[in-house]
Structure 1
Amino acid sequence: MKSYLDLLKTRGVGRIMAAQLTARFPFGMLSLAFLLHIERVHDSYGAAGLVLAALSVGQAIAGPLTSRWMGVWGMRPVILLTGIAAAISMGTIAFIEMSVIGYMAVGFIGGLSTPPVQPAVRTIYPKMVNSQQLTPLFSLDASLQEIIWVIGPVVTTFVATQIGTVQAIGVALVFLVGGTAWFLASPELGRVRIPRSKRKMGTVLRKPPVLLATAVGFLLVGACAAVEAGVVATFGHGGPAAGLVLAIFSIGSLVGGLALGHIGISPWALARRMLIVFVGMALATLFLDFWWLSAMLFIAGIGLAPALAVMFSIVSASVKFSDTAEAYGWVGTGQLIGAALGSALAGFLIDAYDAPGAFWVAAAFAFLGFVVAAVFHRASPDLRGRDASPIPDTEPISTLA
Structure 2
Amino acid sequence: MSSYLNVLATPGAWRFLAPALVARLPYAMLQIGILLLVQWSTGSYGAAGVAAAAAAIAQAVVGPQTGRLADRYGQPRVLLPQITVHALALGTLLALAASHGAVPLLVLTAALAGASVPQVGAMVRARWSHLLGGSGKLGTAFAVESITDELTFTLAPVLLVLLSTGYSPVVALLVALALILTGTVVFAVTRVGAPEPMPVKVRSTRGVLRLRGVAVLALGFLAMGSVFGSMQVGITSFTAELGMAALAGPIYATFSGASVVGGLLYGAIRWRVSAPARLAWGLGLLAAATSALMFAGSVLLLFGAAGLAGLVIAPVIITGYTIIERLTPAEVRTEAFTWLTGAIGLGIATGASVAGQLVDRFGPTLAFVVPPAMTGVVALLILARLRTLHPVPEPATTPLPTAHRP
For this structure pair, what is the TM-score category when the shorter chain's length is used for normalisation?
Answer: 0.7 to 0.9
Paired residue for 1:241, among 228, 241, 247?
Answer: 247
- Whether 1:93 aligns to 2:99 is no
CA–CA distance in 2 between the matches of 1:311 and 1:224?
A: 16
* Residue 161 of structure 2 is aligned to residue 161 of structure 1: no
The answer to whether the 8 Å contact 2:73/2:198 transfers is: no
SS at match of 2:233: helix
Q: Give the counterpart of 2:116 among 99, 110, 113.
A: 113
Which deviations, in whole Å up to 9, do the C-alpha atoms of 1:125-183 show, x marking residues without a partner?
12222522112211221122211112112222333334433333233222212221231
Give SS of 1:208's match: coil
Aligned to 2:73: 73
**SS of match in other structure, 2:328:** coil
Separation in 2 of the partners of 1:124 and 1:375? Answer: 32
2:25 counterpart SS class: helix
Partner of 2:19: 19
**C-alpha deviation, 1:115, in angstroms:** 0.9
Letter of the structure 1 residue corresponding to residue 91 of structure 2: G
Give the Å deviation of 1:309: 1.0
Partner of 2:31: 31
Cross-structure match for 1:62: 62
Where do residues 196-345 of structure 1 align in structure 2 (5 Å cutoff)? 196-201=199-204, 202-235=206-239, 241-261=247-267, 262-264=269-271, 265-287=274-296, 289-345=298-354
CA gap 1:248/1:323 in 2 versus in 1, 3 angstroms: same
1:222 Cα shift?
Answer: 1.9
CA deviation profile, 1:294-341 (whole Å, cap 9, x unmatched): 321121111221111111111111121112122222223322322232
Q: Give the whole-Å Cα distance in 2 for the aligned partners of 1:43 and 1:310.
A: 42
Aligned AA (2:111)? F
| Distance verdict in 2 for CA 1:227–1:128, change over 3 Å | same
Q: Percent identity?
A: 26
CA distance in 2: counterparts of 1:171 and 1:342, whole angstroms: 28
Q: Give structure 1 stretches of 5+ with no counterpart.
A: 392-401
Report the Cα distance in structure 1 between the residues aligned to 2:64 and 2:362, rounded to whole angstroms.
36
The answer on whether the counterparts of 2:230 and 2:367 sit within 8 Å (CA) in structure 1 is yes
What are the Cα deviations for residues 85-113 of structure 1, in whole angstroms up to 9, with x where unaligned?
Answer: 22333334344134443332112111221
What is the CA deviation profile of residues 197-243 of structure 1, one whole-angstrom value per residue up to 9, with x for unaligned ones?
12222233233332221110111112212222333444569975333
Aligned pairs, how many? 384
Q: What aligned pairs does 1:124-135 form with structure 2 within 5 A after superposition?
A: 124-129=127-132, 131-135=135-139
Cα contact 2:73–2:197 (8 A) shared by 1: no
88-97 vs 49-58, greater mean Cα deviation: 88-97
Q: Are the aligned partners of 1:285 and 1:359 in contact in 2 as well (CA < 8 Å)? A: yes
Q: Match for 2:20: what amino acid?
A: Q
Is the contact between residue 153 and residue 247 of structure 1 (CA under 8 Å) also seen in structure 2? no
SS in 1 for 2:354: helix
Q: What CA distance in whole angstroms lies between the structure 1 residues aligned with 2:115 and 2:130?
A: 28
331 and 2 in structure 1: CA distance in 2 versus 1, 3 angstrom threshold: same
In structure 2, distance between residues paired with 1:288 and 1:326: 42
Deviates more, 1:351-360 or 1:173-182: 351-360
Larger radius of gyration: 2
* 8 Å contact from structure 1 (residues 284, 297) kept in 2: yes
Q: What CA distance in whole angstroms lies between the structure 2 residues aligned with 1:121 and 1:8?
A: 13
The 3 A distance-change label for structure 1 pair 259 and 25 is same
Query: Contact between 1:33 and 1:156, CA under 8 Å: does it hold in 2?
Result: yes
Query: For residue 89 of structure 1, what is the amino acid of its counterpart?
Result: A
SS in 2 for 1:285: helix
User: Which of 179, 182, 203 in structure 2 is aligned with 1:178?
Assistant: 182
Are the counterparts in 2 of residues 227 and 359 from structure 1 also a CA contact under 8 Å? Answer: yes
Per the alignment, do residues 192 and 267 of structure 1 end up closer, same or farther by CA in structure 2, a change over 3 Å counting?
Answer: closer
8 A contact 2:31–2:56 mirrored in 1: no
CA distance in 1, matches of 2:248, 2:36: 11
Pair 1:194 & 2:197 matched: yes
> Are the aligned partners of 1:39 and 1:45 in contact in 2 as well (CA < 8 Å)?
yes
* Contact 2:327-2:391 within 8 A present in 1 as well: no
Cα separation, partners in 2 of 1:244 and 1:156, compared to 1, 3 Å = farther
Cross-structure match for 1:139? 143
Q: CA deviation at 1:45?
A: 4.6
Partner of 1:193: helix, strand, or coil? coil
